[in-house]
Amino acid sequence: MYIIVAGAGLVGGSLAKKLIESKHDVVIIEKDKEKCDRLYAEIGAITVNGSITSLNILKEAGVDKADVAVAATAKDSDNLAFSVMCKSFDVPHLIARMRNENYERAYRMAGVDKVLRVTDLLVDQMMVDINHPNAQRIATVGGGEADIYKVIIPERAKVIGRSVEKISNQSNFPSGTLFLAKTEANTQDFEISHGKQEVEPGDELFFIAKNINVKKVIKVLTEQYKEKRKR
């Protein structure tokens, strides 16, 4: 994916490093020239030196072809302005770091998909949000050792037609993961999981897993069959 990260501080810089390691195309926008130079030297990141609220800078960063834009600076007003401009270029997926909870409604109105509070902001969580937009963390439990997630099943997911019991018994499914409930896409009926429920496109599955296994669980639930090329 082509991803723009606004801000090269601790959060933005760490996120950019992980994204590059995951083979994404990443461009960082940062007004501090020294930070730009350091990131290029340390991780080979492509940087654009300038303000994240400048339309010309966003264009230089390639906002018109971005799949994801992440507002990761420490200033809500700048993050909000950046998000609004990215939305005007129809960037499909927007994520924003929020310091002041009074900004949350403004972020939502601006079309931000995921608003992450500073108090629970983790780079690994941002990685999940970028790589798996169909997944949403509901809560962290067990002193931070486990997470409860909701996953929306994609149209061509490999698990479609299988029961949650069969999915749990797959060899590539992390042990210790527990399905909690399912919301059916067609009827919006919410059911506590009993093992025999079959998974259909658009269903919402709720599960609890150790945080070290969350990415594996999400991958199993959202992995899709590749479309055949038309000749």
Distance (Å, rounded) from C-alpha 25 to C-alpha 65?
Answer: 11
More confident residue, 10 or 159: 159
Cβ atoms of residues 27 and 47 within 8 Å: yes
**Rounded distance between C-alpha atoms, residue 50 and residue 72, angstroms:** 15
Give 170-190 pLDDT, tens digit per residue: 999 998 899 999 998 888 888
Residue 157's Cβ-side half-sphere holds a number of Cα atoms within 13 Å equal to 24
Question: Is residue 105 predicted with pLDDT exceeding 80?
Answer: yes
In the chain, domain spans: 2-131, 135-222
Q: At what angle do helices 10-21 and 123-131 cross, to 10 degrees?
A: 50
pLDDT attached to residue 119: 52
pLDDT band, residue 6 (cuts 50/70/90): very high
Percentage of the chain exceeding pLDDT 70: 93
Whole-number mean pLDDT of the chain? 88
pLDDT above 80: residue 164:
yes
Which one is the CATH code of 135-222: 3.30.70.1450, 3.40.50.720, 3.40.50.2300, 3.40.250.10? 3.30.70.1450
140-152: average pLDDT = 82
CATH of segment(s) 2-131: 3.40.50.720
pLDDT in tens, 62-92: 999 999 999 999 899 999 999 999 999 999 9
pLDDT band at 229 (very low <50, low <70, confident <90, very high): very low
Q: What 3-state DSSP class applies to 150?
A: strand
- The backbone region for 114, taken as left when phi is positive above 0, alpha when psi lies in -120 to 50, beta otherwise, is beta
